[in-house]
């Protein structure tokens, strides 16, 4: 079955696959995770705030995003961002948004909805008495959140946040629909150029599996460590 | 914004020649729902089997079950679809491969299979969690009563598990519907793909995507309402469900 396999194609395209493809994938994953957690935390704080308008806004945003397929959202932002850029800058023509920028904004805003659900659970898990005690000590809202509540929420939710970022890592393969050169994009371009679909897609699956499985094992370990204390 | 809105476009005839653009999008929705339905059947059938396998006393069973779940969970859905669509027909004997490649609606069958297997790993995970959440005493009591393992699962454990995992399964069903959109990469003309081709034909990007978005939201709402009803009707009185499932993706 493997007799007419050409494993050499992988060796030949190694620099392209990893230096261009994988670094794009990892960069997108890293930046979108960072931005997604920041935005998600802000959304969670809005949802738990006492202002009804903020609550409603955050809830609507999260529910709509979570009801839509990522592919559709990728297309939405790809076409919408140039117009938003034009509106913000007040320029005459729609702004040219780079493909990486477009993908980064999309994934940050999309994953923020999922991260916000995790952070909301984390914040709610901090006993209410701590909030009250901090206020009794004369702390302001940002102090209570910044020094007391959020550090605990982050710590408790770290495994879930990391698991979500592994999902994000896998989801970045969907930039394929914009013909970007992420890891899968690079693999598929080589596959089509050299007519080696079988080798390249099996190899891509293997690489994704090793990284995701390895990362999830690490998260499991971390979880066990946190649980003991 | 100097975008020219034109909602009338929805009622213009699409170049595909099979009715208006709106009808084109609705037929996309039908493909989305049909694919999701069959994928969900596969996901439930295999998911329950694998989930149960992972809780059996047999070590081999657990090993096989765990390996299955890890493989399907740690490879992106898009890559899995490519494996089924591009790779498998090349690996099987040539006459079968040729038959597979010439199959009409190949994108549909591969979409159903790919999404179904991907989701089955997630269903299996929910089933295992559900079974493990039951008190060990129930299993022991059934054994003490002389029940076989099969009887224990059939009459004691599973009737509870189904009710316990109903809420998280509802979100997995919604994920199945959303995930069918990934199959547009292998040429399935589901809702997102139709919106995309409407944009290519007519250049009315935002009308196409707005309608697709509304259709997804509407589907989501209907499914959620129906599942809530079903959930209530099968709920065990006085037993709290595990609806606080944080990460649903």
* Chain A residue whose CA is closest to B92: A1
In terms of pTM, does the model score above 0.80? yes
The DSSP secondary-structure symbol of B13 reads B
Question: Could you give the 3-state DSSP secondary structure of residue B95?
Answer: helix
* Cβ atoms A175, A103 nearer than 8 A: yes
C-alpha to C-alpha distance for A4 and A92, rounded to whole angstroms? 56
β partners of residue B20? B13
Structural domains of chain B sorted by starting position, each given as residue range(s) with its CATH number in brackets: 31-190 (1.10.3720.10)
CB atoms within 10 A of CB B27: 17
Residues of chain A contacting residue B189, judged by C-beta atoms under 8 Å apart: none
C-alpha to C-alpha distance for B25 and B11, rounded to whole angstroms? 11
A90-108 burial, b at 16+ Cβ within 10 Å, e below that, comes to eeeebeebeebebbbbbbb
Write the CA distances from B171 to B40, B179, B245, integer angstroms.
12, 12, 9
Q: Do B182 and A71 touch (CB under 8 A)?
A: yes
CB-based contacts of A144: which residues, under 8 Å, 6+ apart?
Answer: A131, A134, A135
Q: Mean pLDDT over residues A190-208, rounded?
A: 93
Which of A69, A164, A173 is closest, CB to CB, to B79? A173
Asked if A121 reaches chain B (Cβ–Cβ under 8 Å), the answer is yes
* The predicted structure's pLDDT at residue B5: 86
Q: Is the pLDDT of residue B244 over 60?
A: no
Minimum mean pLDDT range among A207-221, B49-63, B230-244: B230-244
* Cβ atoms A202, B87 nearer than 8 A: yes
Tokens 């005690």 belong to which residue? Answer: A133
Residues of chain B contacting residue A173, judged by C-beta atoms under 8 Å apart: 76, 78-79
Asked if A141 reaches chain B (Cβ–Cβ under 8 Å), the answer is no
The DSSP secondary-structure symbol of B14 reads P
CB-based contacts of A55: which residues, under 8 Å, 6+ apart?
Answer: A46, A47, A48, A49
The DSSP secondary-structure symbol of B165 reads T
Structural domains of chain A sorted by starting position, each given as residue range(s) with its CATH number in brackets: 8-228 (1.10.3720.10)
Q: Is the pLDDT of residue B241 over 70?
A: no
C-alpha to C-alpha distance for B180 and A69, rounded to whole angstroms? 9
**DSSP letters for A149-210:** IHHHHHHHHHHHHHHHHHHHHHHGGGGGGGT--SHHHHHHHHHHHHT-HHHHHHHHHHHHHH
Q: Mean pLDDT over residues B210-239, rounded?
A: 91
* Chain B residue whose CA is closest to A196: B87
Q: A61-78: per-residue pLDDT in tens?
A: 999 999 999 999 999 999
Q: Do A202 and B87 touch (CB under 8 A)?
A: yes
- Gap from A137 CA to chain B (nearest CA, Å): 32
Q: A155-194: per-residue pLDDT in tens?
A: 999 999 999 999 999 999 999 999 999 999 999 999 999 8
Please state the ipTM of this predicted complex: 0.91
Q: Do B83 and A216 touch (CB under 8 A)?
A: no
Residues of chain B contacting residue A69, judged by C-beta atoms under 8 Å apart: 178-182, 192, 216
How far, in whole angstroms, is CA A153 from its chain's centroid?
19
Q: Do B174 and A67 touch (CB under 8 A)?
A: yes
Take residue B232 and report the two structure tokens written for it.
């209530």
Q: Do A1 and B91 touch (CB under 8 A)?
A: yes
The percent of residues above 70 in pLDDT, for chain B, comes to 94
A179: left (phi over 0), alpha (psi -120 to 50) or beta: left
Q: Do B74 and A216 touch (CB under 8 A)?
A: yes
Take residue B66 and report the two structure tokens written for it.
């765990």
Q: Mean pLDDT over residues A112-141, rounded?
A: 95
- Gap from B86 CA to chain A (nearest CA, Å): 7
């Amino acid at each position: 079955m493997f007799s007419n396999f050409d494993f050499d194609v992988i060796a030949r395209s190694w620099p392209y696959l990893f230096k261009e493809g994988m670094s794009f994938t990892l960069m997108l994953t890293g930046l979108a995770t960072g931005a997604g957690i920041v935005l998600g935390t802000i959304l969670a704080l809005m949802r738990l705030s006492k202002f009804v308008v903020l609550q409603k806004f955050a809830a609507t945003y999260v529910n709509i995003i979570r009801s839509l397929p990522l592919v559709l959202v990728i297309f939405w932002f790809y076409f919408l961002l140039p117009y938003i850029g034009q509106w913000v800058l007040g320029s005459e023509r729609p702004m040219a948004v780079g493909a990486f920028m477009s993908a980064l904004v999309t994934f940050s805003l999309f994953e923020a909805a999922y991260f916000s659900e995790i952070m909301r659970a984390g914040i709610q898990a901090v006993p209410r008495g701590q909030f009250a005690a901090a206020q009794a000590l004369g702390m302001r809202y940002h102090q209570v959140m910044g020094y007391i509540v959020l550090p605990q929420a982050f710590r408790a939710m770290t495994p879930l946040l990391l698991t979500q970022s592994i999902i994000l890592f896998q989801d970045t393969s969907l930039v394929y629909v914009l013909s970007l050169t992420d890891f899968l994009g690079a693999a598929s371009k080589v596959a089509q150029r050299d007519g080696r679909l079988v080798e390249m897609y099996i190899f891509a699956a293997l690489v994704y599996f090793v990284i995701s499985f390895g990362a999830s094992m690490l998260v499991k370990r971390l979880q066990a460590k946190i649980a003991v204390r | 914004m100097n975008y020219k809105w034109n909602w009338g476009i929805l009622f213009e005839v699409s170049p595909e020649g099979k009715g208006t653009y709106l009808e084109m999008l609705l037929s996309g929705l039908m493909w989305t729902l049909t694919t999701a339905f069959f994928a969900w059947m596969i996901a439930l059938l295999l998911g329950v089997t694998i989930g149960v396998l992972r809780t059996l006393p047999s070590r081999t069973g657990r090993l096989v079950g765990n390996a299955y779940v890890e493989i399907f969970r740690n490879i992106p859905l898009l890559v899995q679809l490519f494996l089924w669509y591009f790779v498998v027909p090349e690996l099987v004997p040539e006459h079968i491969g040729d038959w597979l490649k010439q199959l009409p609606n190949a994108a549909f069958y591969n979409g159903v299979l790919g999404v179904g297997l991907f989701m089955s790993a997630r269903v299996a995970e929910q089933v295992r969690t559900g079974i493990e959440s039951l008190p060990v005493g129930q299993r022991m009591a059934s054994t003490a009563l002389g029940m076989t393992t099969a009887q224990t699962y059939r009459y004691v454990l599973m009737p509870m598990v189904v009710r316990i995992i109903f809420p998280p399964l509802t979100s997995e069903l919604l994920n199945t519907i959303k995930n069918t959109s990934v199959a547009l990469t292998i040429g399935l003309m589901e809702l997102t793909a139709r919106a995309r081709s409407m944009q290519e034909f007519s250049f009315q990007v935002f009308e196409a995507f707005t309608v697709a978005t509304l259709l997804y939201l509407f589907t989501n709402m209907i499914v959620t309402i129906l599942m809530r009803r079903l959930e209530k009707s099968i709920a065990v009185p006085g037993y709290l469900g595990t609806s606080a499932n944080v990460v649903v993706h």
